[in-house]
Structure formats: C-alpha cells, structure tokens
Structure 1
Amino acid sequence: MGLFDRLRALLGSFSPVNPWPAIDITLPGKRYLHLVGSIHMGTRDMSPLSARLVDKVRRADALIVEADIREGGSPFGFDQAERPLAERLDASSLEQIEKIASELSIPLARLDHQPAWQVALMLQAHQAQSLGLRPEYGIDYQLLQAAQANNTRVMELEGAESQIALLRQLPEQGLGLLQDTLTHWHTNARLLQLMIGWWLGNPPRDSHVSLPNTFAHDLYDVLMHQRNQAWCEFLHHLPPGRYVVAVGALHLYGEGNVPALLKNP
C-alpha cells in the first residue's frame, strides 16, 4: 500500500466529528487520549485552531507534545566542522544540493561544513518556508500556546535535547537522512501540501495516487518505529485522566505506528 493510501486509510479511521486529523483512544485505567496528527510548520490560514480543539486542550489534564518548543532555539548551531560536502557526497547528490540551494537562496557556504543531518533539516525547513509554512503556525506550537493560555499542564514525550542527541548519533552524521531528503525531495513537498489541505478540511480523496515512503528501512526504524515504541510506553504509564497528544502526523501510519502500538501493546 502506498503512502497516500495509508494516509487515506488512516483518515477513514478518524471520527467524522473532528474537522482535523485525530483519533480518540481509551487505554485501560480510565486514560483517554485525543491523538492529534500535528504538522510542525503551518500556513497563516491554519491559525487560529478550531475552538473545539482549543476547548479539548482547556479541559485536558495535560497537553502532551514531542518537545516543548516555546523556548525557541535552533538545531542548526554548528557542531564540529565537517569535511566539505564535495568530499562527503557523490557528484549527483552534490549537484542536487547545489541546485536546491540556488532555488531556495541558501548560500552553499552555510551548508558546506555542517553535519549531514543538519544539512537535511535546513533544506527541509527552507522547502517548507518556500511553500508558505512558518513555525508560528505549526499545530504543536499553537497547541502549546493554547495550553499556556488555559493553564493546562504540558508534558514532553522526549524533549528537544533528546531529539538533537538522536540526530547526532545517526551513522555518518546523518548521511542517510540527507540522502533520503534528496531522493524524496518532491514527494516531501507533496506531503506537506497534503497535510496542509488535511488541516484546512480537505483530506486526501484520490485513491489512485500512491506515494512511496520517505525513509530507508534502517532510518525509519530509528527515527520512527523506535520512538513510537518509547512514546507508547510513556502513554501507557500515564495516570488516569484526559490528554491531548500531539505528534507528527507521519507517526500515525505505517508499520509500528502509534495508534496500532497503543491498541496492541
């Protein structure tokens, strides 16, 4: 089953009363989760959030996010300088990066000595910005603002420092992540557009469209499956209560997805 079809199948499992991608799951011990498929950057017309979703945050015992990003900060600070990209990449990959950097007006010097994972994230961020997405309109950021306004407790599934530590531990400084970013460059753009439409009330409908995964198997296991398992362990140990849980929408489908792991621990 292709990526689009998995997203479409997941959408079909969402309650029709929610005009946003979400699924309600009840865990043993009177723990009620409203699991929201977030997008970390959004467009201006994705704000403000639905009043009904904000009300769910207000009535929740806690909002649970991957990381509390209200403090700001950037993952793009330089680690130890790496060799130039020309010494780390094949000619085709280097040419593609040069082309993308030119199209997005990124000085190549900003990328040349960064770890590969930082190059990948910077390219992805600029791609999102080129499509009109901004961090202040991201769903998780808006949910955090709603929690703050309503004095709702905020809990982290892992935190920003853990996320950066994971990226720094990737083999070859995240070269696989960079290669996947280049390989699926146009697919990533279509996924962003699909998710924007989803949050604006235009879910995917065309069952004939099929898109491939955007992670190689080993990378998917580290960045998606293992994290999903850790998050589900965290959620299964929550005290009784009602929780709004916001995770990247891509964690809600595919092998080892969060809803499936929660239902079948």
Structure 2
Amino acid sequence: MRRTLLRLSALLLLLACVPAWAAPPVPLLWKVSDHDSALYLLGSFHMLARDDYPLAPEVEEAFAGAGTLVFELDPEEAASPALAMRMVQAARRTRPGSLREDLGPELWARLERQVAAGALPAGWSEQFEPWFIALTLQLAGLARQGLDPGLGLDRHFMRAAAAAGKPASGLEPASAQIALMAGMDLDEQRQMLAEVLDLLESGPARLDRLHGMWRAGDAQGLWEGIAVRMQRDYPALYARINVARNDAWLPVLERHLAGRDDVLVVVGSLHLLGPDGLVEKLRARGYRVERICRACAR
C-alpha cells in the first residue's frame, strides 16, 4: 500500500511539473464552404517556439485534406535571400533631413531609450525609414521572448507543403508587400513605430500575453488586444495593413473557392478577426462559415 502511494505521489509530482502549454495550441481555424469545396482559414503567429508544436489534430487534418496551400507570400519568394535585400533597399532613407526631425522629440527619445537598452546598434536606425525600424524592433522583441520566425506557423506549413508535394501560392507578391510599407506617408510610419514602441515598453508580459492568447485560440482577446487598440489609436495604419489587404485578398480566395479542391490558407491571425476580417467578409458574401475547434466545444 505504501509503495502504491509513493508511486501515486511521484506521478502527481510529475504531472505538476508539466507546463500548462503541453497540450497543442487551440487553433484559430475556420472552414468556409460552397457547394463542392472548402477553404480552411488558419490564423498564424509568425514567430513561435518549439513548445508550440505539435499542432491540434484538426489542423493536421485540414492540411492532409487540402489539395493546395495559400500564404500571404509565395513560399519561393518568402524564402529568397533577395527579398530581404529588396526590403533593405526600399527602407534606406532618401528624404532630406534627419530621422530625428522626422520623428519629433518624443518619439525620438523613446527610440533612443531602446537603442540605449541594446535593442538596436547605435547609429543604425538613422540609415532607415521608421517603418523598417519598427519591423526590426518588433522582430527583436519577439526573439528575446524565445520566438523564432523559422518556427512560425506559415513557415512550418510551407515546409510541410514542399515535403508533401502540394502546390502553394501567395495572396500578394513580395513587391506589393514592400510597396505597402515603403508607400506609407510619414504620419503612418510614425504610427507604426509608436505602436511597436508601445508594445515593447509594456514589457515582456504583453508579448507573452499575446502569444498566450494565440495558443489559447482566444479570437476575442486577440481582437481586443491588437486590432481594437490599433483602430482607436492608429486608424490610418490599421486601414493600410489590415483592411486594404483583406479587401485585396478576397477575390483571390473566392477564385480558390470556385475550384473543387479544398484549400488551406495560412495568414496572420489579425487578418481573420473582427468585422474587417476575412472570416466575416466571406460570411457576408453568403458562404457557409464555421469554426473548427474541438477544444472549444468541451
């Protein structure tokens, strides 16, 4: 009897040591159907950790049943070293005056605090436009949280599609994505940098919370934690990087729905959420839409 109790105690201790995220992430996955095919919309977190795998069975089933995959960018373009070079070229400052003058005293001081803390090399940011500085700071902040772009959900499925011999394509060319950023006016760029600085200045807890909400499949929490705030504080930025792109992607998604094969679409989670998201836009066009989430039904 004593030996049994000892074994039970050891088992309970072992279970207590298993992290709360040992279960697969709850997927942000929706099925959009017409009369003969389905489009699976999967919300990605572009940088993840090894502990975010394996994925939920319903996600793997959607991949297995899909005849083709669709991402924000074509996988070949996304993996090309030339893409990073093109982005750096587009981001180099050409306007007269200094970055300090462009940002103004308050935003400049906030950026300088990040440089002093080691987030960027001293003097590096003065070569580039604010949008590129914002992207670099955001990636660096997520990397400090142990998240890796190579483990992001989109990269994971790009590799899986290649291994399975499934065709894959993009919703927009890389040139359009670069033009979207480089075409921002200075006010929009300042908004983008301010939004990223807000995120970093709130400390690791907010980044952890956003990652945790993605793992929990908390669509409402992510909508309120990212989109609602951006809509309120940075409306021009929100319209450019979310609403305009969703509207441009809709005809592409409808062309895929017109075919007979099921399709798995993997895009940033924000693009699926709220009244401006692809889920509601497709529902408004008369398609059958349901969330696929076994853990949500428990």
Do they superpose with TM above 0.5? yes
What one-letter code is carried by the residue in structure 1 that aligns with 2:98? P
Residue 189 of structure 2 is matched in structure 1 by 174
Q: 1:114 to 1:205 in 2, by over 3 A?
A: closer
CA deviation vs aligned residue, 1:19-49 (integer Å, no higher than 9, x gap): 32211111x3423011101011111212454
What one-letter code is carried by the residue in structure 2 that aligns with 1:108? A
CA distance in 2, matches of 1:52, 1:225: 28
Aligned length: 245
CA distance in 2, matches of 1:66, 1:93: 31
Q: After superposing the two structures, state which structure 1 stretch, 102-111 or 232-241, moved more.
A: 102-111
What one-letter code is carried by the residue in structure 2 that aligns with 1:196? H
Q: 1:206 to 1:34 in 2, by over 3 A?
A: closer
Residue 148 of structure 1 aligns to a residue in which SS?
helix
136, 139, 145: which one pairs with 1:131? 145
Residue 262 of structure 2 aligns to a residue in which SS?
strand
RMSD over aligned Cα atoms: 2.8
User: Is 1:197 paired with 2:217?
Assistant: no
Residue 24 of structure 1 is matched in structure 2 by 31
- Equivalent residue runs for 1:46-85 within 5 Å: 46-50=52-56, 53-67=59-73, 68=75, 69-72=78-81, 73-74=83-84, 75-77=87-89, 78-82=91-95, 83-85=97-99
Tell which structure's C-alpha radius of gyration is larger: 2
Residue 250 of structure 1 is matched in structure 2 by 270
* TM-score, normalization by structure 2: 0.73
Give the drift of 1:190: 5.4
Give the drift of 1:116: 1.2
* TM-score, normalization by structure 1: 0.81
CA distance in 2, matches of 1:241, 1:188: 44
Residue 89 of structure 1 aligns to a residue in which SS?
helix
Residue 38 of structure 2 aligns to a residue in which SS?
strand
Larger helix proportion, structure 1 or 2?
Answer: 2
User: Is 1:230 paired with 2:248?
Assistant: yes
Residue 133 of structure 2 is matched in structure 1 by 119
CA distance in 1, matches of 2:210, 2:229: 15
What one-letter code is carried by the residue in structure 2 that aligns with 1:61? G
